[in-house]
Amino acid sequence: MLSRVANSVYWLSRYIERAENVARFIDVNYNLTLGETDSLGNQWAPLVYTTGDQEPFEKRYGAPTRENVLKFLSFDEDNPNSIISCAAFARENARTIRESLPSVVWEQLNKFFFMVRTAAKVSSTLDQPQEFCERVRLASHLLVGATDATMSHGEAWHFLRLGRLLERADKTSRIVDVQYYILLPDAHDVGSALDVVRWSALLKSASALEMYRRQHGKIVPERVADFLVLDRHFPRAIHFCLMKAQESLRNITGSTSGTFCNLAEQRMGQLCSAMDYTSVRDIVQHGLHQYIDDFQNRLNLVGAAISDDFFTTHQQRQARNAEASGQSQAQTQTQTQSS
């Protein structure tokens, strides 16, 4: 398939997944703060941390009040990671490759964008954001379902899945990273009762509570981390996402298991196998935050390699090579001079 089309397919599904995750964060936090009476400003701040946009947020909004955070995350068109921006980017990507998508998929995306745009114009949407969040989640599910059911499971579909899974792995890792520490009792509180409500909310934000209970029963921080990071069967767990993403990558390249044919596959394989042979104890000993930080860096490198291996055009590569050979010549000359 065309490199440009692959690029757009990949990003379109990343944006949809991103919008879905933001909706999840909002929904769960809203429910969590509903019953509280004290000033809860700081309880909205972690949401902004989770999306990684604290800097632009603080610059433009200042205090992380409920209203500010909801506006920033949902309908702020200047925030590239807001739901409305994600929906617009997804639609714009889809529009440039409309010919490669089944009509029903395009139509759903189109409706999704209109729904978000209409909701943004209704001032009451954010007073009670649950319904809006649910519609965003459902739209995302509908798109996944529509692509699964109407699109050939060929290259384009695998790029779609690849984008979605990498985005999801990234977002789950951010949830775990930010929320885990907020929820862990301070050292002097060790032994005090766990805030089960909040831990449940964390799991819920990944729609993971019910599946967690079946797997692990009682809520234990280490097990929650285990479930969200290392579980091989839960579709929002990081490990699951990576396993399936690797599968899609192999389908795209045709490489057999345990081999690689480009940098993207090599990096992905290294990251997956590291995770295959990691236990939650290793992670906790290493430090969860460091582990996730390291994971996110490596995931970014996988993303960069995918872009380089598949989306770069012949012209771009030639231009880069020309530049590189120019540089190496320059270096040679410098070396000659200095010697």
Partner 1 sequence: MRQASYQSKGVFDEMFAPNGQPRASGAQFVERLQTLSDGSLQQRQKAAELSLENMGITFNVYGHAAGTEKVWPFDLLPRIIDATEWAMVEKGLQQRIRALNFFVNDVYNEQKIFKDGVVPDELVLSSKTLRKQCQGFQPPQGVWCHITGVDLIRDNDGQIYVLEDNLRCPSGVSYVLENREMMKRTFAHVFQGMSVAPIEDYSEQLLQTLLDCAPPGISDPIAVVLTPGIYNSAYFEHTFLAQQMGVELVQGSDLVVENGYVHMNTTRGLRRVDVIYRRIDDDFLDAKCFRKDSTLGVDHLMDVYRAGRVTLANAPGTGVADDKAVYAYVPEIIKYYLGEDAILPNVPTFLCSVEKQRKHVLANLDKLVVKPTNESGGYGILMGPQASQAERDKTAEAIRANPREWIAQPMLKLSTVPTLVGDELKPRHVDLRPFVLCGKEIYVMPGGLTRVALREGSMVVNSSQGGGSKDTWVLRNGDAVPPLPAMDAGGML
Chain residues binding partner 1 by CB under 8 A are 1-6, 92, 95-100, 103, 106-107, 110-111, 114, 155, 159, 252, 310-311, 313-315
* Nearest distance in Å: CB 312, partner 1: 8
Select 115 or 184, whichever has its Cβ closest to partner 1: 115
Question: What's the min distance (Å) between Cβ of 245 and partner 1?
Answer: 16
For residue 146, the minimal CB distance to partner 1 (Å) is 14
Q: Which is nearer to partner 1, 30 or 310 (CB)?
A: 310
CA distance 324 to 151: 40
CA–CA gap between residue 209 and residue 226 (Å, rounded)? 13
Residue 317, number of CB atoms within 10 A of its CB: 11
Instruction: State the Cα–Cα distance between residues 135 and 120, nearest whole angstrom.
Output: 13
Separation between Cα atoms, residue 287 and residue 283, nearest integer Å? 6
CA angle 14, 161, 317 (to 5 degrees): 75
Whether 302 contacts 249, CB under 8 Å: no
Q: How far is the CB of 321 from partner 1 (least distance, A)?
A: 14
The residue (of 165 and 306) whose beta carbon lies closer to partner 1 is 306
Contact 7, 313 (CB under 8 A): no
Give the distance from CA 141 to its chain's centroid.
15
Cβ proximity to partner 1: between 88 and 201 the closer is: 88
What's the CA gap between 251 and 245, in Å, rounded?
Answer: 10
CB of 103 to partner 1, least distance (A): 7
Closer by beta carbon to partner 1, 227 or else 311 = 311
DSSP 253-312: H-PPTT--SSHHHHHHHHHHHHHHT--HHHHHHH-HHHHHHHHHHHHHHHHHHHIIIII-
Tell the smallest beta-carbon distance from residue 299 to partner 1 (Å).
21
Report, in Å, the least distance between residue 313 CB and partner 1: 4
Whether 230 and 279 have beta carbons less than 8 Å apart is answered as: yes
CA distances from 127 to 45, 70, 89, 133, 162 (A): 18, 9, 25, 12, 35
Based on CB atoms, which residue is closest to partner 1, 8 or 29? 8
- Give 8 or 50: the residue with its C-beta nearer to partner 1: 8
